[in-house]
């Protein structure tokens, strides 16, 4: 299921084209369902639980070691399978780790989209990772210095309120703000000397 309808995509494309026509910036918007699979999380938690499973059986029962070992393996497999759905996997991963992964993905996209090599260093990436509830704007050095900090802050508000997974969200560029309080807006970053602000 796509994150946006065709009408939403057209509205986003039109907004980007209008912004590019009014400025020297080259703007790319990337909205992704998630920034990582986090498949290690259910395996890690299941392995930790499996290490604890045999101890009560060893000390409190007379079961043979082979049966305890099979119970341990079965516990690992069942727990890993039950923790594998994406919603549960995401809940197992600390928020800071998810945001770190989403930020890394944003930087990767900035480079993959060749925004670091634009003429005049005017590339801007608007990045949203829905599963991590993370949004970030990365601007290249020249455009970052040309635009006032207040303007960057004004850009941050609608990007942070974007919630493409909200049920019954509004059509348009900045979907429903329902549930947006839990979103984290990453810093507006400059692709150059350390010049970012919260």
CATH number, domain containing residue 32: 3.10.310
Check pLDDT > 60 for residue 104: yes
pLDDT band at 4 (very low <50, low <70, confident <90, very high): confident
Same domain, 110 and 175: yes
Provide CB contacts within 8 A for 90, sequence distance 6+.
Answer: 34, 38, 98, 131, 132
Stretch among 31-35, 75-79, 162-166 having the lowest mean pLDDT: 162-166
Same domain, 81 and 66: yes
Q: What is the mean pLDDT of the chain?
A: 81
Q: Region 13-19: what's the mean pLDDT?
A: 88
**Structure-block tokens of residue 39:** 């498949």
DSSP 8-state symbol, 197: B
Look at residue 198 and tell me if it is in a domain: no
Res 143: pLDDT: 84
Same domain, 30 and 70: no
Res 103: pLDDT: 92
Look at residue 1 and tell me if it is in a domain: no
Q: How many domains in the chain?
A: 2
Res 72: pLDDT: 94
Domain that includes residue 60, residue range? 40-92
Same domain, 65 and 153: no
Check pLDDT > 90 for residue 5: no
Same domain, 118 and 68: no
pLDDT band at 191 (very low <50, low <70, confident <90, very high): low
Stretch among 87-91, 107-111, 139-143, 180-184 having the lowest mean pLDDT: 180-184
Query: What whole-number percentage of the chain has pLDDT above 70?
Result: 78
CB atoms within 10 A of CB 183: 19
d(CA 179, CA 186): 17
Question: At which of 92, 110, 136 does a domain end?
Answer: 92
Same domain, 171 and 133: yes
Same domain, 66 and 100: no
Q: Which residue has the tokens 């992704």?
A: 32
Q: DSSP string of 50-119?
A: HHHTHHHHHHH----HHHHHHHHHHHHHHHHHHT-SHHHHHHHS-HHHHHHHHHHHHHHHHHHTTGGG-T
Look at residue 81 and tell me if it is in a domain: yes
């Amino acid at each position: 299921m796509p994150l946006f309808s065709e009408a939403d995509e057209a509205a986003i494309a039109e907004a980007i084209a209008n912004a590019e026509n009014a400025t020297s910036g080259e703007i790319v918007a990337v909205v992704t369902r998630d920034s990582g699979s986090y498949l290690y999380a259910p395996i890690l938690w299941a392995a930790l639980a499996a290490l604890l499973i045999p101890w009560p059986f060893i000390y409190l029962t007379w079961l043979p070691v082979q049966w305890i070992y099979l119970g341990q393996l079965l516990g690992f497999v069942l727990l890993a399978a039950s923790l594998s759905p994406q919603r549960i996997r995401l809940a197992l991963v600390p928020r800071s780790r998810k945001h770190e992964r989403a930020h890394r993905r944003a930087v990767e996209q900035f480079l993959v989209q060749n925004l670091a090599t634009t003429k005049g260093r005017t590339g801007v990436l608007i990045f949203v990772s829905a599963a991590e509830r993370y949004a970030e704007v990365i601007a290249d050095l020249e455009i970052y210095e040309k635009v006032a900090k207040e303007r960057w802050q004004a850009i941050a508000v609608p990007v942070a309120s974007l919630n493409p997974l909200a049920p019954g969200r509004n059509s348009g560029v900045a979907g429903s703000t329902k549930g947006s309080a839990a979103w984290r807006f990453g810093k507006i970053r400059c692709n150059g000397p350390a010049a970012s602000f919260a």
